[in-house]
Structure 1
Amino acid sequence: MSTDALFIGLMSGTSLDGVDGVLARFSPDGTMQVQAHAFNPFPDAFKAELLQLNQSGPDELHRAALAGNGIARHYAQVVQALLAQTGHAPEAVTAIGAHGQTVRHRPLEFDGLPDQPAVGYTLQLNNPSLLAELSGIDVVADFRSRDLAAGGQGAPLVPAFHQGVFGQSQGCVAVLNIGGISNLSVLQPDGHVMGWDCGPGNALMDHWCQTHTGQAFDRNGDWAATGQTSHTLLERLLGESYLSKQPPKSTGRDLFNPAWLQQHLSNLPDLPAQDIQATLTAFTAQACVRDVHAHAPGAQRLIVCGGGAFNGHLMSLLAQGLPGVPVVSSEAHGLPPLQVEAAAFAWLAFKAVRREPASLTSVTGARGARVLGAVYPR
């Protein structure tokens, strides 16, 4: 690529609220400029189906295939919105990076052989061929599998992108993405990058809020702020063994789900619903704060992106846990919180088309850096 090129990035994360998409211009050296952003919310029934597909159930192969078609159609609507905003024809866009909807993530499990390590699997519902057909644009998808095949976690995928956008030569920067699951990138001034999933982000808070208030999420954390943290419950939650594992590591709703929460609520005295919401918010904050203290003690700032950046109560808890470390939205660094992950998948598509490695062994633990993603021609 010797001239500027346009790419679209699409992301539907573990929060399951819908699809964020960006159209970005890349210069040959990889410099990115976002030109447009669009969002397409998932209907309640579709969100409920995706949630159910996170667990085993009847006829799930059939249902997952149809859900993949549905994801592709939602993606195509976002693509059309981006093209309409910018006036570009499909032919002007080099490729779409489409992550798909993760419903299972079990890396390095199950299938080890005496002479071969386990690979496990990661599953993102999608139909990239249908998206290519509907959009008239090449699609790059299935970004995680190649890293798994090389012995890695397959996640998180965004730390290398974070380094390019937020890294600073003057000091260490930590970037915290709070979607359904929270993940942290530690960007050292010498270019070394670490990244891993800290634990739950919004997933448990959203579930509890939806169950007890009928609202999809706790806007600004206002409901949690009315409750009192249960230190007994908080200590139970923080005792989860995943949290004490050393990176590389990744997780998802396979672990942090309503059944996991209910198990920790068992044998406790009844607590007001708002107290449990307050405790879940404190849990998300403390899991992230502990990781910053453990792995980024010299961080000069914590840059927060994802939907959690709009939860003022959660942001205040992060700041309280990190005295002396500015906790700021990614908007302060030129990229609004809901655009960061979609922009990362535009960047991953850019790297895939150029056949350039995009994974980091320091993040996933793979045997080496790999080109990520498979191309589905229009």
Structure 2
Amino acid sequence: MRHFLRAAVAAWSALSLAGCFLFPGAGATGGQSDAIHVGILTSRSGSNAASGEPQINGAQLALSHLNAAGGVAGRPLALDIVDDQSDPARAPAAARQLLDAGAVAIIGAMASSITKEAVLQAAKPAGCVVISPGSTSPDFSDPAKIDHGGYFFRTIPSDALQGKVLADRAIARGYRKLGIIHVDNPYGNGLAAVLKRTFEASAGRTTISARYAEEATPRTSYDAEIRPVLLENPDAIVLVAYTGEGSQILKDWISSNLSPTVPWLFSESLQSDAFVANVANAARLEGFTGTSPYSGGPDYDRFAQAYSETYKTAPPLYSANSYDAAILVALAMGRAGAATRQAVRDNLRAVAGGSGTPIRPGPDGIRSGLAELKAGRAVSYQGASGPLDFDDRGDVKSGTYRIWAIKGGRIEETAEILKP
């Protein structure tokens, strides 16, 4: 059983112990002027701020393992971190700040809308890969919607899979009329479309949908958007939102007294204790469930042990995906024998899949992987977050999901594992 997005002070204190923690524009610590820069584009403020810490911590843990193994070609790696402020309009400038600092790759962003703008407006023109641990929109899989030109990868499954899991769960529970409330951006629109299509394909089932505008700072009310759904008395409601506005939407539902007993299902972006705490009415949320990509098995356990030892808390959602992204960037450079953006782009698939020597998460596994690459041998990194075999659009080819539930005011994972 794991809890999520807690113990922030302890985690950030531990972060400073891991080494090579750089802010944008700063020089390498300890006089390491030859450091290879890896960018982090993340939300440390605004509506999606709860996702920032797991992303940073996972990547920093990876760099501590890589640097303990000697770095890449004898050079240490360091992180530059820029806050996108949960604002897609800020994404191009934030990404350019990382590029100007010399980033060979950018890990991020978390929100699909921010990642889209960062890729199209900044990273792709600069020939730099963006590898996201949290952007799940199906739009990235369709070149007609997002033409990223091979400069986008992700270590988390597409919502083409999660939308089906949510729909299948709603059908299995016997729901006939499903409400869908979602943020109006590539993440919300993409997941909602898959959910609606899959649910309505089952005979006799209908959906009522409402969307709300994406904003960097949550509004004080979403009553106008959610009221039409509540008035239809749906059997259940699926909410696809970020933590900030998600909490307000639940507050608005409670105060409306409409559909007071309707059960809610949540997407992975709400798997945060902060979401529950901000609603400030845990009793009304008791038993509500959500879905999220599942990480488990020995490879995840190696990562989880290292994460817990470093940050004194269990790894939250997205932390393993961010760890994997950083490891893959380094292994790609190790395979190429060069610390360049082109080396990352051209070698990511080769180190993430195939029949090379299996490389496990953790210091020993990473050291072994870098040594194998230096000797000219093929490697296949076994992700902490799960299999990382990329297709031609930069998507991982498979995904497994776990059900989480709100119990006693906290988020807990259940034993229920689902495959699309």
Give the TM-score normalised by structure 1.
Answer: 0.30
Give the TM-score normalised by structure 2.
Answer: 0.27
